[in-house]
Amino acid sequence: MFVLHCPHCGEKREEEEFGYGGEAFIARPLAPETIDDVTWGEYLFMRKNPKGWHWEMWSHNTGCRKFFVVKRNTATHAIDGSWTLADARKLYDAESKAS
Amino acid sequence: MSSHRIQNPFARIDTSRPLSFTFDGQSFGGFAGDTLASALLAHGHRMLARSFKYGRPRGIVGAGAEEPNALVQLEAGPLTIPNVKATQVELYDGLSACRTTGWPSLAYDAKSIGGHFSRFMPAGFYYKTFKWPAALWPRVEPIIRHAAGYGSAPVDPDPEQYDHQHHHADVLVVGAGASGLLAALGAGRAGLHVILVDEQNEPGGWLLSAPHAVIGGQTASDWLKTTIGELKSLPNVRILARTCAFALHDMNMIQAVEQLHDHVAPSARPAGERRQRLHRIRAGRVVLASGAIERPLVYGNNDLPGILTAAALTTYLNRYAVAVGKRVLLLTSNDHVYQGACDLAKAGCSVVLADTRSTINPAWEKRARAAGVDVMAGYGIAEAHGGRAVKGAHLVRLHPERIAVAGNGPFIDCDALGSSGGLSPTVHLYCHDGGRPVWDEKRLAFVAPATGRAKAGIYVVGAASGEFGLQNALAQTCLTTAELLATFDKASAIATLNVRTDEPDLQPARRIFRLPDGKPEGHGKKAFVDYQNDVAASDIHLAVRENYRSIEHIKRYTALGFGTDQGKLSNVNGFAIAADALGKSIPEVGTTTYRPAYSPVTFGTLAGAHAADTFEPRRYTAMHSCHVARQAEFEPVGQWLRPWYFPTGGEDLHAAVRRECLAARRSVAMMDASTLGKIDIRGRDVREFLNRVYANAWTQLAPGKCRYGLMLDENGMVFDDGVTACIADDHFLMTTTTGGAARVLTWLEKWHQTEWPELDVYMTSVTDHWATAAVVGPKSRQVLAKLCTDIDLSPAAFKFMDWREATVAGVAARVFRISFSGELAFEVNVDASYGHHVWEALMAAGREFGITPYGTETMHVLRAEKGFIIAGQDTDGSMTPFDLDMAWAVSMKKPFSFIGKRSFARSDTAKSDRKQLVGLLTDDPQVILTEGAQMIETSNTAPPVPMFGHVTSSYFSPELGRSIALAVVRDGIHRRSEDGVKAGRDIMYAWAGGKAHKVRIVSAVFIDPQGARQNV
Amino acid sequence: MSEPVMQSPLHPFDLAAKARPLDASCGVWVSELPLLGYVSLRGQSSDQAFTEAVARIAGVALPTAPCTFAISGLAKILWISPDEWLIVCPRARPKGLLGEFSQALKSVKHQVADNSGGYTQIYLQGKNARDLLSHTSVYDLEALTPGRIVGTTFGKSSLYMHRHRDGYCLLLRRSFADYIWRYLVRAAEPYGFGVAQIDAALIAGAAA
Amino acid sequence: MKKEYSFWSLFKQGLQHNEGWDPAWRSAEPKPSYDVVIVGAGGHGLATAYYLAKEHGVRNIAVIEKGYLGGGNTARNTTIVRSNYLWDESALLYEHALKLWEGLTADLNFNIMFSQRGVFNLGHTLQDMRDIERRVNANNLNGIDALVLDAAEVKRRIPLIDASKGTRYPILGASFQPRAGVARHDAVAWGFARGASKYGVDIIENCEVTGLDIAAGRIKGLQTSRGYVAASRVGCVAAGHSSVIAKMAGIRMPIESHPLQAFVSESLKPVLDTVVMSNAVHGYISQSDKGELVIGAGIDHYNSYSQRGSPHVIEHTAAAIIELFPMFSRVRMNRQWGGIVDTTPDACPIISKTKVKGLYFNCGWGTGGFKATPGSGNVFAHTIARDEPHPLNRAFALDRFHTGHLIDEHGAAGVAH
Ligand SMILES: Cc1cc2nc3c(=O)[nH]c(=O)nc-3n(C[C@H](O)[C@H](O)[C@H](O)COP(=O)(O)OP(=O)(O)OC[C@H]3O[C@@H](n4cnc5c(N)ncnc54)[C@H](O)[C@@H]3O)c2cc1C
Ligand SMILES: NC(=O)c1ccc[n+]([C@@H]2O[C@H](COP(=O)([O-])OP(=O)(O)OC[C@H]3O[C@@H](n4cnc5c(N)ncnc54)[C@H](O)[C@@H]3O)[C@@H](O)[C@H]2O)c1
Ligand SMILES: Cc1cc2nc3c(=O)[nH]c(=O)nc-3n(C[C@H](O)[C@H](O)[C@H](O)COP(=O)(O)O)c2cc1C
Ligand SMILES: [Zn+2]
């Protein structure tokens, strides 16, 4: 049972205050009409679902109602940190470039 | 004094407070401080149970949570508790308990007949039998089921209450034995917020069984007094007795259950108190001081009543002043039993101590002989003798190295037999969230290393970490506590504490689990490993023979450790015997997974306050009391309770709905629409935002106007709908379905925050702020006119789909001229604080017109007559706007590709013959179709019958004097009679519960297709 | 036509009739702070035009530190999220406030909405007030120091809570009031539970 | 392994101290190459191997398992077996499985303790009852046994249930499938393992597949923790780990792995002789032959491969059970655990070929695949042997996520089961 740090409220809170928002950074195609059904289907349904580090969204339901990003290990439940969407984006891009 | 009770000033019973109780109807006496087990043993009461599979006589084996046999049914009626361990039942006056096994009686158990054929019922018995003929198993199964099970569940609702309490502590110490107390003292003196829990009725742990032990010059009992005294004096330390930490979850969330009632006589339980409380403790650090449990040795007939663990014999003697037997035979592989042996001898028992080691600890031998114990080195037990109680045991001389019989030994007769195969650390919590215990070959135990999980904030001290000697345990506790305190940048104030004891240094134990009897496994008397599941050593060997070689397979094939004791006594023996059978080392075999609960915990405790009328929220509108006063029947819709219908004079649903419908169509009726979700949306980009989240267009809608909108998921399917009003150019008020409100707000926020943060728009829920009364019917304008004089209500000035600021019944209101019924209608929205006032004012104003309150059922009929959908009833997540024949509510021209649009183009979604929403008319106008009836093409119904859709909504329309229905039908739109389809295609059958009704497929709009009535 | 009367969400429990002066008999004393004014306000704290206008109207600077609130003579401004605040004020104020805000923020990104009908507050006092909350909410009450406000769980619902005088203000949504009240009464039972006579100054205080 | 199980063999072995029993299955060392390799020795994987050998004459088969066989979700499910699903595609697939269940004990010569004690799906709202009607009628027209019961009838058949009007979600009725029930989960895995082994299938435990060898769009073999294994066809039946294996082939799946938890009470005398499920209060319960109440919780919403979930989920489920059976408040939870379920967007499985020739996936059973075990293995064996889907699993191909032809079973899947 997790304790998550809400970057907006600036506090660690119990899991029950939050709602899970799924895989982070699934970008919506900018021009959906121009892509084929397969590409659209990938965006709609296909997920990384990694065993290991996972960039995921949570929303602080009982608090600030903001979505934010957590990097969590799905095998060990270790948490690397949580950030606002904007800050996380930078780290994520840097990480993606590195690998 | 009962036969086995002795004088013992150190014992924790209060002989000045005698108590009486009954077991299986027979009356006994005991004392405050007794457990049911100690009190029964004090009377020499041995046999309490019959075994699960073979019906063998069984008695008390342990003295606490590890007890496998003595499961009793405590009390009767609503307060009854099944399967409590007699060793954990604190005695109170008038307590009544019964056995849970043994049918028809303990003395004669039907299963014991099977027992005689036990060799034909090995592990896996059922898998190999009752397979043929197929009809056999269904007849055998009920018999098997009735033979299984221990206690009986209550049959009455639970009269007692439970709750939860949430804690956030710096340090949680689990276990208040010597080590736990010391660790708590260390953390407490350092000023940390400490919680110390122990499942027993008082702190002390093993020290309560070893009162003569010496710690730093004090006797154990004095040391306990001073230590507990100081802890109690510290405001930052909280001690919870009778509190079992039963689970450890991620990030050190510990669940612990506190027993507040069960030890008190029902008549004396304080009213308003809880029976049990779940403490949810989020701890910065956890100290596991959960100790160790002595495991018995495995030999023939080792399950006879009167055979206990040596530790239990010691505990009964020292803690409860009970000498379980007068002639005691002890069997050990280690030093731990010697103190107990001395104490038993000093208490006047004749004690023979057989040590499986050929060379034993001279210091202990000296003390034992001095105390009068007859010590025999290098002996084991081949098999115990006795029927309903142990009478003696046949000893054999053991080979000093190999696990083999080296020669014959004497027959020792005894009335109590205790064995010790060493201590098994209580590592359960260490493992609940993924930790693994480590096999320590020197200590012959799976231990939880003291700082093995320090990174996770979990520390282990004392016996739990494998420190079995008291002095070592305490010294190690001091060290480990200091390490823990360092992580808080605190120095330890117990580092220099004197913890010297008077025990001799420990001599290594002998590595022995299953004692040899000179015969191959399975040939001699059954030697039990897991008493509760009747798992014998031979069953483990059989499992291995049949290739159930993984320890998990062995567990599952034999049921080893499956019981309510979760293998506290049996698991390690089982692992070791398996290793032997597999020819592997114990660490290679490993352990099974430790899972919560450490000790069983009631469902009531888990549920806490979430029971009865606080099980889950019920949401009410500001007008709720108005409806209650009018005897409304209510319907749960999402979290809300909404009026379903308003029966008067004994009406049933149909009569009431008929009356309510006609009132709405012919004169005036009123409904509470407050539960609809309302979201205030404001910002420069609000129109663009709506364009993206709705299927239709919002660019043109002028202030003062409203529009209906369909909300789709990205898959193109309708998931919510509602009317949205333009308040100002940059300001809209959106309404959602009752059930969808929260989901929609989160959905909108998610899109805004994650995809389109650049859009200038804010959303705020105002659902609870507004109370809404829908005044519906031809006379609604007249009613409203009486209460609303500051705006022009005339059709010309206040058009359909307009809204206005106005004053209604003296209250500022937003009046929407929208209609979910197709009638002239006004939705009056006011500050909910005035909801009650305005509802009553409208009722009063409408009285002259016979204004009629109506509920959700009538609302459904009225909208169905108009072919308006209910999202969630006429849609099921697989309907596009086109499937709903609502192309008019989709704007494909909008520049931005709104949510869901792209999905329309996929091959399956683009098909023209998808299931589509249509109306149905039955041949017989009186027949009301079943909602959920399936649409088929022929009246011939020999399965499999092709299905083309189903009836989503079906009612009797009082207005039309006939039944109507909505359905989704494959290619339905092209089957509608109106559209002159190929003869016959409009005729189908609606099939439900074996009946097929002929129906004609028509437009979904049954009344006033031009919408004239709502425009008057 | 009868005069408009307001009803608080806890009206059905007729607390007035149950109310009595505080004494030693109960560990938890509860009362409703009914019928206050509530205005939802959203905007960018980075936008000076916004913060200044709000400060001017509210008579106090907008609290921008997470989980804090500010008090002025006429209102209490609760931080809800980095771009959302809830203004608690006497019942007569919202109408005026709305006007003033809309005026002052015409050309500024913002949102104001009257939510007065949507909320009520419960005031908790007594020696076990904090114990009570430890039964109902997962929040670490140690961290709930004076001047802080947090949104957290309450049973299976949620609410905002902050310290007020020597007690706690619970701010909750109207439709959950019935559930929250029952839940609270049940949780308080072991400590002894009483409905406290409500004192006007308290309401005023809660409003500002 | 020739020895049949029977009273007679039990008697004979009993006389010989049960020393003559053979291994139930043969543990094999990986061979260099196989015609077909099945990844994952859960119920589905073992059933697939069994039917491949038995019905399609494939001989050279291996089942590769990273842990102990049957140790995945097969080991940890609440064993509810039923076929009363809503849509034709799924109803027919699950009914195919149910028919196989009915003959499985005899077919495998292994008593899998299939107990057709019936399953109730309770309805608590008017919409629940509409959905129940819709589902039951569809079932009947598909030739599947199912009936709609009203509240009074539910109370009559489940005397302990709280059918009063005062509850949060009063019971309005239920659907009931008489032929549904429960089975002994471990026995299913062992029975199929024994059966497959009899046909010469190599069962290789403690061997983890770590990579897939693909060349020119064709599967060539697998890397495993015990070396390379060549195979011209590979069927992946890895449940919770399907995304991980798919990644080895560069494929992304429409799957998320979630914890799903369950717990059991202490063993009690018989109190409940059927299976009761409720979506609205969110819990389901039955009583095993050993006497413990077997209770399933909802899923934890976050992704996880940890086989454990959060305690508030269990707490909520306990509350739900008490809401249905107030007397169970005093019954005690003995043990709780979790599994890793592979959920799909439409709560329906994926039994499919992939873009890699010779590579097949059978996954996405999520919270409800135990009931399908024999049927799933049976049609998957067909798909692999013929390199084309069996008519019953054609609709469950991966391409439905591109065409939009989803089969939304959330209604019938509801709570985990
Ligand atoms: C708590 C719970 C309750 C449930 N209740 C029900 C119910 O009541 N009714 C119902 O029908 N269904 C139920 N289910 C779902 C059901 O258990 C599963 O759908 C079903 O058992 C899946 O079977 P399987 O054989 O495909 O998966 P598994 O039994 O999980 O087998 C997959 C195997 O693949 C192995 N594997 C994974 N990766 C690798 C690798 N890289 N190399 C080698 N091997 C690998 C795993 O170790 C595992 O043994 C429940 C599930 C859970 C968790
Ligand atoms: N001879 C024996 O059988 C025996 C048994 C245990 C300890 N000892 C000796 O006692 C000395 C002190 O040992 P210790 O203090 O490490 O252990 P301990 O056994 O004295 O104390 C452990 C305490 O932890 C409690 N406990 C265990 N699990 C719990 C849980 N989940 N929740 C709540 N309480 C729980 C037990 O009730 C017990 O009071 C050591 O020298 C040790 O060797 C001997
Ligand atoms: C239907 C069913 C019944 C079970 N009954 C029991 C039981 O009576 N006692 C027990 O200790 N465990 C029981 N278990 C749980 C298993 O011990 C084990 O926890 C589960 O299979 C998950 O495996 P793991 O805990 O090793 O990860 C049961 C499991 C299932 C699926
Ligand atoms: Zn937050």
Q: How far is C-alpha B627 from the chain's CA centre?
A: 36
* pLDDT at D246 (0 to 100): 98
Question: Average of pLDDT values for B679-686?
Answer: 98
Tokens of B49: 């149970």
Determine contact: B161 vs chain D, CB below 8 A.
Answer: no
Mean pLDDT to the nearest integer, C77-97: 96
Q: Is the pLDDT of residue A64 over 70?
A: yes
Dihedral, CA of residue D313, residue D318, residue D321 and residue D322, to nearest 10: -140
Taking alpha carbons only, the member of A98, A47, A43, A39 closest to residue A74 is: A47
C208: DSSP letter:
-
- Give the angle D245-D246-D250 at the CA atoms, nearest 5°: 120
Q: Are the beta carbons of B777 and B668 closer than 8 angstroms?
A: yes
Q: Which of these ranges, B558-562, B747-751, C200-204, D225-229, has the smallest mean pLDDT?
A: C200-204
Q: Whose CA is nearest to atom 52 of ligand 1?
A: D77
**D325 token code pair:** 């059976």
Distance from CA of D26 to the nearest CA of A (A): 31
pLDDT in tens, B954-967: 999 999 999 999 99
Distance of CA D290 to the CA centre of its chain: 21
Indicate if ligand 1 lies below 6 Å from the C-beta of D205: no
Give the mean pLDDT of B419-443: 97
Helices of type H across B351-422: 362-371
Question: Residue D297 CA: which ligand 1 atom is closest?
Answer: 1
CB within 8 Å of B853: residues ≥ 6 apart: B626, B627, B630, B632, B643, B646, B660, B669, B670, B671, B843
Best interface-test mutation with A: which of B250, B253, B282, B906 has the largest number of A CBs within 10 A?
A: B250
Residue D369, pLDDT > 50, answer yes
Q: Strand pairing partners for B165?
A: B279
| 8 Å CB contact of B832 and C134 | no
Centroid of ligand 3 to alpha carbon of B594 (angstroms) = 11
Examine the pLDDT at B173 and tell me if it is beyond 60.
yes
Residue B133 buriedness (CB in 10 A; 0-12 / 13-18 / 19+) = exposed
Q: What is the mean pLDDT of residues B111-117?
A: 81
pLDDT value at A30 more than 90: yes
pLDDT on residue B339: 97
Ligand 3, atom nearest to D71 Cα: 23
Identify the H or E element spanning A82. strand A79-84
φ, ψ for residue B891, nearest 5 deg: -110, 100
- What is the distance in angstroms between the Cα of D217 and the nearest Cα belonging to chain B? 26
Residue C79's CB is within 10 A of a number of other CB atoms, namely 25
Q: Is B152 on the interface with C (CB under 8 A)?
A: no
Q: CA torsion B812→B816→B820→B822, rounded to 10°? A: 120
pLDDT for D411: 63
Are B129 and D405 an interchain contact pair (Cβ–Cβ within 8 Å)?
no
Give mean pLDDT, residues D316-321. Answer: 98
Question: Which residue did the predictor score with more confidence, B125 or B190?
Answer: B190
Tell me D326's DSSP state: G
Ligand 2: which residues within 6 Å by Cβ? B 174-180, 197-200, 205-206, 244-245, 289-292, 294, 311, 336, 423, 426, 429, 462-464, 468-470, 473, 598
- Check residue B981 and give its pLDDT: 74
Å from CA of B177 to ligand 2 middle: 5
Q: What is the CA radius of gyration of chain C?
A: 17
Q: With beta carbons less than 8 A apart as the criterion, state whether B329 and B411 touch.
A: no
Token pair of D6, please? 């029977």
Beta strand ranges found along B268-389 (DSSP E): 276-288, 292-294, 307-309, 327-332, 350-355, 374-377, 379-386
Instruction: Please give the helix or strand (H or E) that residue D174 lies within, else none.
Output: strand D173-177
The ligand placed nearest to the CA atom of residue D362 is: 1
The answer to whether B302 and B390 are in contact (CB under 8 A) is no
Confidence of residue D1 (pLDDT cuts 50, 70, 90): very low
User: d(Cα C197, Cα C33) in Å, to the nearest integer?
Assistant: 11
Tell if the CB–CB gap between C1 and B764 is shorter than 8 Å.
no
Please give the average per-residue pLDDT across D354-361, as a whole number: 98
Cβ within 8 Å, pair A8-C139: no
Strands D275-278 and D119-123, bridge-based pairing: parallel
Are residues B275 and B625 in contact, defined by beta-carbon separation less than 8 angstroms? no
**Residue B294's pLDDT is what?**
98
Least CB–CB distance from A1: residue in B250, B746, B749? B250
Residue B696's H or E segment, with its range, is none
Question: Residue D263 and residue D318: Cα distance in Å, rounded?
Answer: 9
pLDDT at B131: 77
Closest C-alpha residue for ligand 1 atom 33: D40
Give pLDDT, residue D415: 46
Question: Which residues in chain D are contacts of B635 at CB distance < 8 A?
Answer: 125-126
The burial class, CB within 10 Å (0-12 / 13-18 / 19+), for B1010 is exposed
Cβ–Cβ of A32/B901 closer than 8 Å?
yes
Question: Is the pLDDT score of D416 beyond 70?
Answer: no
What percentage of chain B carries pLDDT values higher than 90?
93
The amino acid occupying position B103 is: W
> Is the pLDDT score of B176 beyond 90?
yes
Q: Would you call D71 an interface residue with chain B, using a CB distance cutoff of 8 Å? A: yes
- Note whether D310 contacts A51, CB cutoff 8 Å: no
What residues pair up with B85 in beta bridges, in sequence order? Answer: B71
pLDDT over 60 (residue B310): yes
Tell me how far apart the alpha carbons of residues A36 and B531 are, in angstroms, rounded to a whole number: 65
| Position D417 pLDDT exceeds 70 | no
- The residue with tokens 């029971």 is B611
Comparing B996-1000, C2-6, D392-396, the range with the smallest average pLDDT is C2-6
Residue to mutate, D69, D264, D314, D336, ligand 3, most ligand atoms under 8 Å from C-beta = D264
The residues pairing with B322 across neighbouring beta strands, listed in sequence order, are B5
DSSP H/E element including B410: strand B405-413
Which pLDDT value is given to residue B954?
Answer: 98
Cα separation, B11 vs B371, in Å, equals 20
Residue of A nearest to C84 (CA): A64
CB contact under 8 A, D137 and B137: no
Residues B634-678 pLDDT 10s = 999 999 999 999 999 999 999 999 999 999 999 999 999 999 999
Q: What is the mean pLDDT of chain C?
A: 95
* Average pLDDT of every residue of chain B: 96
pLDDT of B358 strictly over 90: yes
Return the number of other C-beta atoms located less than 10 Å from residue B593's C-beta. 16
Contacts of D73 (CB under 8 A, 6+ apart): D42, D239, D240, D339, D340, D341, D369, D370
pLDDT of residue B18: 98
pLDDT, one tens digit per residue, over B745-799 is 999 999 999 999 999 999 999 999 999 999 999 999 999 999 999 999 999 999 9
The token pair at D113 is: 């303790």
Q: What is the mean pLDDT of residues B236-252?
A: 98
Q: Where are the alpha helices (DSSP H) in D199-291?
A: 242-248
Residue B398 pLDDT: 98
User: How high is the pLDDT of residue D412?
Assistant: 59
Cβ of D308 within 8 Å of Cβ of B433? The answer is: yes
Nearest-neighbour CA in chain D from B547: distance (Å): 5
B249 to chain A: which residues are within 8 Å by CB? 1
Q: What is the ipTM of this complex?
A: 0.98
* pLDDT of B718 above 90: yes
- Identify whether the C-beta of residue B822 lies closer than 8 Å to the C-beta of residue B1007: yes
- Rounded CA separation A60/C150 (Å): 12
